[in-house]
């Protein structure tokens, strides 16, 4: 239950946190209260402002209701008392390979995922060892003055930058899950790109992933100073297994004047996971933010990457795909907030539902008064593989300005009998033909991915069509 933050002052003494030499032993336990939050913050040796922030956020979490949209039936099944809110590397390493579900192991096999990665993705090691690659990239970035670390390190080493920007894009009160993340966050990435610097290679969470980064409540903050460019990629195509059922990240992007940020995600959580993520970007004058967002896994995903265009000439793009098979619901979309004149947004959403899976597009385009010259284009295409599957669109437009051009187009198609017959008449089996058609449908997304991701994603879809992936 919620306790008042003031009471916590006593606990400093009780736990001996003031003594640097005392080895504090954290015992992972289920459930959430101010005590757990305090422990997390103490363990990380955080500054007081962050600790206060966490406690405030927890109160907000307790006071906020669950979101009333998407899928209340599934949401209400989340048991907040049955979740570990913080786990350290040693907790993760105590798990065994035997606990990883068979179908995940099979998928690793068929995707050809290397041994070291399997252990990590299967949640049995806390570290994925790719230090060699990482070091050379690191040196290159350092020479340019780019900061790239996990969020905890970022806070420790660059507190001033973090404090100035942290939670300015997504305050804890934004929604229940953002509040929860704010209270218990751990890991995630911190990136700061100096003015005018272009980072030509994509920065991948992969190069420095550890249990916390890929954990339940990671927190990412990317700041691109004026005129800079960075592309960040998180996730991978192989399924990520977690014994915890709730993943709730917060991702904040700040693109200053003329900066360009591209953020690519491939979400493939195991199908027991609730993936409730808040992603938002602030785009200043002439800045450009792109979200490239793929959702394959999880039981329920609720994710609406947004761009708040606050400076004239800013631009926001979202290109997303969602795939839902039996028992899955992907509720994804985007919010484009035009708060300055002559801003442009493009939302392209593609979804495939199969075997009774459900996808929904939920989107908002908002144009504030006085924002003339806004252009927005929304396009949603849904592909249904069978009559049991479902797809819905919930587009909202709030347009309070004149001289704007807003376009919205939505299509729902079924994998046509004619199309399937055409491909099969060239010798492809039904599974091969279906895979080809679905991969073709996702092609506009896949071609935006780096090669190795594109190849794996195509293979993953082939596995899904065979129905051999859990």
Partner 1 sequence: MAERLLEIRDLHVAVGETEIIRGIDLTVDRGTVHALMGPNGSGKSTLSLALMGHPKYTVTQGDILYKGRSIKDLGPDERSLLGMFLGFQYPSAIPGVSVANFLRNALMARHKGGPPLTPAAFKKLLDDAIRRLKMDPAVLGRYVNDGFSGGEKKRLEILQALVLQPELEILDETDSGLDIDALRIIAEGINAQRGPERAIVLITHYQRILNYLRPDVVHVMVRGKIVKQGGPELAQELEAKGYDPLIKELVEA
- Residues in contact with partner 1 by CB under 8 A are 416-419, 421-430, 432-433, 436-437, 439-444
Minimum Å distance from CB 377 to partner 1?
18
Residue among 319 and 374 whose Cβ is closer to partner 1 = 319
CB 122, min distance to partner 1, A: 32
Question: Which of 146, 436 has the CB closer to partner 1?
Answer: 436
Which tokens go with 273? 């996971």
Cα–Cα distance between 267 and 212 in angstroms, integer? Answer: 16
User: Smaller CB distance to partner 1: residue 24 or 422?
Assistant: 422
Is residue 219 helix, strand or coil? strand
Among 358, 379, 363, 381, which Cα is nearest to 438's? 381
**436-467 as b/e: b if 16+ CB within 10 A:** bbbbebbeebbeebeeebbebbbbbbbbbbee
Residue closer to partner 1, measured from CB, 4 or 426: 426
Do residues 308 and 283 make contact, with C-beta atoms less than 8 angstroms apart? yes
Q: Side by side, which strands form the sheet with 315-324?
A: 203-204, 229-235, 260-267, 288-295, 315-324, 344-353, 375-384, 405-414
- Nearest-approach distance from CB 440 to partner 1, in angstroms: 3
Least distance to partner 1, CB of residue 416, Å: 7
Q: How far is the CB of 463 from partner 1 (least distance, A)?
A: 16
Q: How many residues does the chain have?
A: 470
Asked whether the CA dihedral 208, 209, 211, 214 is positive or negative, the reply is positive
Taking the CB of residue 220, how many other CB atoms lie within 10 A of it?
24
Closer residue to partner 1 (CB): 276 or 437 = 437
Question: Nearest distance from residue 432's CB to partner 1, in Å?
Answer: 7
Nearer to partner 1, 108 or 442 (CB): 442
Nearer to partner 1, 340 or 438 (CB): 438
Contact 198, 229 (CB under 8 A): yes
Instruction: Give ∠ CA 63-68-74 in degrees, rounded to 5.
Output: 100
Are 399 and 365 within 8 A, CB to CB?
yes
Cβ-based nearer residue to partner 1, 145 or 440: 440
Question: How far apart, in whole angstroms, are the C-alpha atoms of residue 251 and residue 278?
Answer: 6
For residue 444, what are the β-bridge partners? none
Rounded Cα distance between 376 and 46, Å, is 42
Residue 409 parent element (H or E): strand 405-414
CB of 383 to partner 1, least distance (A): 10
* 48/41 Cα distance (integer angstroms): 9
In the complex, minimum distance from the CB of residue 418 to partner 1, in angstroms, rounded to a whole number: 5
């Amino acid at each position: 239950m919620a306790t008042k933050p003031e009471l916590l002052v006593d606990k400093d003494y009780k736990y001996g946190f003031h003594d640097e030499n005392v080895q504090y032993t954290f015992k992972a336990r289920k459930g959430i209260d101010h005590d757990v939050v305090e422990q997390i913050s103490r363990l990380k040796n955080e500054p007081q402002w962050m600790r206060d922030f966490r406690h405030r956020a927890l109160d907000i979490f307790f006071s906020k209701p669950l979101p009333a949209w998407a899928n209340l039936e599934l949401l209400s099944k989340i048991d907040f008392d049955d979740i570990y809110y913080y786990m350290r590397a040693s907790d993760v390493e105590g798990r065994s390979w035997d606990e990883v579900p068979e179908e995940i192991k099979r998928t690793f096999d068929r995707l050809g995922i290397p041994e070291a990665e399997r252990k990590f993705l299967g949640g049995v090691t806390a570290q994925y060892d790719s230090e060699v690659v990482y070091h050379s990239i690191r040196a290159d970035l350092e020479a340019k003055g780019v900061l790239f670390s996990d969020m905890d390190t970022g806070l420790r080493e660059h507190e001033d930058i973090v404090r100035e920007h942290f939670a300015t894009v997504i305050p804890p009160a934004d929604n229940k899950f953002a509040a929860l993340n704010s209270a218990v966050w751990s890991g995630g990435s911190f990136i700061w790109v100096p003015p005018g610097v272009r980072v030509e290679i994509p920065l991948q969470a992969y190069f420095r992933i550890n249990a916390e980064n890929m954990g339940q409540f990671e927190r990412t903050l990317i700041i691109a100073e004026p005129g800079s460019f960075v592309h960040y990629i998180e996730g991978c195509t192989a399924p990520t297994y977690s014994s915890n059922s709730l993943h709730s990240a917060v991702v904040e992007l700040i693109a200053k004047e003329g900066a360009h940020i591209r953020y690519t995600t491939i979400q493939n959580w195991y199908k027991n996971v609730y993936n409730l993520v808040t992603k938002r970007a602030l785009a200043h004058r002439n800045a450009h933010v792109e979200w490239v967002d793929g959702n394959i896994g999880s039981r329920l995903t609720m994710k609406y990457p947004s761009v708040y265009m606050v400076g004239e000439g800013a631009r926001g793009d979202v290109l997303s795909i969602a795939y839902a098979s039996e028992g899955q619901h992907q509720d994804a979309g985007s919010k484009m907030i035009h708060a300055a004149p002559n801003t442009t947004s493009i939302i392209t959403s593609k979804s495939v539902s199969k075997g009774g899976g459900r996808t929904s597009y939920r989107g908002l385009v908002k144009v504030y008064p006085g924002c003339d010259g806004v252009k927005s284009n929304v396009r949603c295409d849904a592909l249904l593989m069978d009559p049991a599957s479902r797809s819905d669109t919930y587009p909202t437009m709030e347009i309070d300005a004149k001289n704007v051009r807003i376009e919205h187009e939505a299509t729902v198609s079924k994998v046509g009998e004619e199309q399937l017959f055409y491909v099969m008449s060239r010798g492809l089996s039904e599974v091969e033909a279906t895979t080809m058609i679905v991969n073709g449908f996702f092609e506009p997304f896949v071609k935006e991915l780096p090669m190795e991701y594109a190849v794996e994603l195509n293979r993953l879809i082939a596995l899904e069509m065979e129905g051999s992936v859990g």
